[in-house]
Copies of this chain bind each other. A is one copy, B any other.
């Protein structure tokens, strides 16, 4: 007998995925930010995300921020494939003792973020259980065949990340802005060859792109944008370690073909988005991530980041 703790999240998903039925209209199954299914002139993007008290937020979290995070995680997944948000359902699990006003404030938070990105919340389910949970199921779309996947990175591509990384536990994990506009722009202009949102941490999420694209990466250590929260963190980790391994930044990590690099950087600047930073490039050999310091020394980067059940 093996428990989920022994097996870990990823191996469990691998085992379960092998059991599941598919259909000819399924373009992308388990293994990307969203599932991609074919529906005429559009591909639909399907994603689900849970926020659970004690795992994703604490019992004393601001209610509006819990709702914001629940919807924000789903929007961030759609953003990572360049999708246009359409519709969402929400399954709420709650203990009978929960104050109705608290749940209403959670819904005010999620309604505000949903309407910002024209995501209609069209239904869901409400059931009782021991702790408060919100499960958000969201549908988005892209023109057929145009979803940006994790698998498109090529040797030589430049690697970019939006915003600043690390230390989200100090607040950003509840208040982050999903990069929906930026993701759609990167898809519409075909800048991004591969993309993912940073939910498990830069090291882990970049490895997802590398594995799905069968390539490697070199990162220039001093270019990695470190957030103020990571710099002032009271933990024993260095700010760089926070930026590499902390989860829930919900920034976009993406690759751009080397020959379009300068044009891309100019277009990004003109689009008036938040800053984005070139942090390295894709290499041919699929041997993970090499971190290069200011003296040119190369260090293989340990794969890490948050994994449910084992972390």
Which A residues have a C-beta under 8 Å from some C-beta of B?
A: 1-7, 9, 12-13, 15-16, 19-23, 25-26, 29-30, 34-35, 37, 39-42, 44, 46-50, 52, 54-56, 86-87, 89-91, 93-101, 103-104, 107-108, 111, 114-115, 118-131, 133, 135, 137, 139, 308-310
- The answer to whether A126 and B21 have CB atoms under 8 Å apart is no
Residues of B within 8 A of A54 (CB): 129-130
SS of A interface (majority): mixed
Taking A21-B115, A39-B40, A91-B91 as given, write out 16 further A-B residue pairs in contact, using a Cβ cutoff of 8 Å, ordered by the A residue number: A2-B99, A4-B97, A4-B128, A7-B100, A16-B103, A20-B114, A21-B120, A21-B121, A30-B123, A35-B123, A40-B40, A52-B93, A55-B129, A125-B135, A127-B308, A139-B139
Residues of B within 8 A of A93 (CB): 50, 52, 133
- The answer to whether B55 and A91 have CB atoms under 8 Å apart is no
In Å, the complex CA distance between A129 and B4 comes to: 12
Q: A23-B87, A37-B86, A52-B127 are in contact. Are A16 and B135 (CB under 8 A)?
A: no
Residues of B within 8 A of A130 (CB): 54, 130-131
- The answer to whether A49 and B125 have CB atoms under 8 Å apart is yes
